[in-house]
Chains A and B, each alone.
Chain A
Amino acid sequence: MQFLRDISIKRKLIGIIMATSTVALMLACSTFLAYELVTYRSTVTQQLTTLAQIVAESSTAALAFDDRRSAGETLAALRAEPNLVAACIYTKDGRPFAAFMRSGSRRDLPRSPGKPGAQYRDGSLVLFQRVVFDGDWIGTIYLKRNLQDMNARLQRYAGIVLGVLLLSSLAALLVSSKLQRVISEPTLRLAEMASRVSAERDYSLRAAKRGNDEIGVLVDSFNEMMGQIQARTQDLHEVHGALERHVGELCDEIVRRQRAQEEALAAKQAAEESSRAKSAFLANMSHELRTPLNAIIGYSEMLREDAEDHHQERSAADLARITTAGKHLLILINDVLDLSKVEAGKTELMWEDASPAQILEDAAGAMAPLARKNGNQLTVHCAPGLPAMHVDVVRFRQSLYNLLSNACKFTKNGTIGVDVVPVTVDGKESIEWRVSDTGIGIAPDQIHKLFQPFSQVDASTTRNYGGTGLGLAISQRFCELMGGGITVASEPGKGSTFTIRLPQHRNRPAVEDPPPAHAAEGTGTPAAREPQTNTVLVIDDDPTVHDLMQRSLTREGFNVVVASSGAEGLLKAKEVRPSAITLDVFMPGIDGWTVLSELKADPVLAPIPVILLTISDDRRRACLLGAAEFLQKPVEPERLAAVLQRCQPDRLAGPVLVVDDDAASRDLSARVLKKQFGSVIEAADGSAALEAMSQQKPGLIVLDLTMPGMDGFDFIAGLRQVADWRKIPIVVLSAREVTTAERKQLSTVVRRILRKGDFPGVALAGEIADLLREGQPVRAKLPGENC
Chain B
Amino acid sequence: MGVLTLRRGAGCLVPLLMAGISLAGEAAVESPPAMAHSEYEIESAMLYNFTKFVEWPRSAWGEGGESLVVGVLGDDPMAHILASALRDKTIYGHPILVRRLNSGADVRGCAVLLVGAAERKEITRIVQSVGRSPVLTIGEREQFSRLGGVIAFIRDGNRIRFEINLDAADRAGLQVSSKLLRLAAVWRENPPQARN
Contacts and interface: CB of A to CB of B under 8 A. Distances in A.
Q: Do A and B come from one complex?
A: yes
Interface of A: 58, 60-70, 73, 91, 95, 133-134, 138
B52 A133 contact: yes
Query: Which size bracket describes the interface of B in this complex?
Result: 20 to 34
Given A64-B17, A91-B16, A69 B179 contact: no
Interface stretch (B6-14, B68-76, B111-119, B123-131): B6-14
B46 interface: yes
B125 to A, nearest CB: 30
Contacts of B16: 66, 91
18 contacts: A60-B179, A61-B53, A61-B180, A61-B182, A62-B9, A62-B182, A62-B183, A65-B180, A66-B14, A66-B15, A66-B16, A67-B9, A67-B10, A67-B11, A67-B183, A68-B11, A70-B10, A133-B52
Interface in B12-64: 12-17, 25, 29, 46, 49, 52-53
Give the dominant DSSP class at A's interface: helix
Contacts, number: 57
Contacts of A73: 8-9
B25 A95 contact: yes
A340 to B, nearest CB: 156
A70 B25 CA distance: 17
A99 to B, nearest CB: 13
Contacts of A133: 52
A66 B13 contact: yes
Contact of B183 (A65, A95, A134): A65
A68 B183 CA distance: 10
A69 B183 CA distance: 9
Given A61-B182, A69-B9, A95-B25, A134 B52 contact: yes
B52 A70 contact: no
Given A62-B9, A62-B179, A65-B49, 11 more contacts: A63-B17, A65-B15, A66-B15, A66-B16, A67-B12, A67-B13, A68-B11, A69-B10, A70-B8, A70-B183, A138-B17
B175 interface: no
Nearest to B182: A70
Nearest to B179: A61
Given A67-B11, A68-B11, A69-B9, A61 B17 contact: no
B8 to A, nearest CB: 6
A68 B49 CA distance: 16
Contacts of A58: 179
A463 B134 CA distance: 194
A68 B17 CA distance: 13
B11 A70 contact: yes
Interface in B164-186: 177, 179-180, 182-183
Nearest to B46: A65
Nearest to B177: A61
Nearest to A57: B179
A69 B11 contact: yes
A477 to B, nearest CB: 151
A66 B9 CA distance: 11
Contacts of B8: 69-70, 73
A67 B13 CA distance: 6
Nearest to A65: B183
A276 to B, nearest CB: 148
A358 to B, nearest CB: 151
Contacts of A134: 52
Contacts of B46: 65
A67 B10 CA distance: 7
Given A58-B179, A70-B182, A95-B25, A64 B52 contact: yes
A61 B183 contact: yes
B144 to A, nearest CB: 19
B157 to A, nearest CB: 15
Contacts of B29: 66
Nearest to B180: A61
A512 to B, nearest CB: 145
A134 B177 CA distance: 14
Nearest to B53: A61
B53 to A, nearest CB: 6
Most B CB contacts (10 A, CB to CB) among A60, A66, A95 go to A66
B143 to A, nearest CB: 22
Interface string B83-116: 0000000000000000000000000000000000
A64 B46 CA distance: 9
A169 to B, nearest CB: 60
A605 to B, nearest CB: 177
A91 B28 CA distance: 15
A66 B52 contact: no
Contacts of B53: 61, 64
A79 to B, nearest CB: 15
Contacts of A60: 179
Contacts of B13: 65-67
A62 B9 CA distance: 8
Contacts of B9: 62, 67, 69-70, 73
Contacts of A66: 12-17, 29
Nearest to A61: B179
Contacts of B52: 64, 133-134
A374 to B, nearest CB: 172
The 4 A-B residue pairs whose C-beta atoms are closest, nearest first, are A70-B9, A61-B179, A69-B11, A66-B16
Given A70-B8, A73-B8, A73-B9, A64 B49 contact: yes
Contacts of A69: 8-12
Contacts of A95: 25
A137 B16 CA distance: 13
A95 B15 CA distance: 15
B68 to A, nearest CB: 14
A260 B10 CA distance: 145
B85 to A, nearest CB: 15
A62 B8 CA distance: 12
Looking at A61, A62, A65, A134, the one whose CB has the most chain B CB atoms below 10 A away is: A65
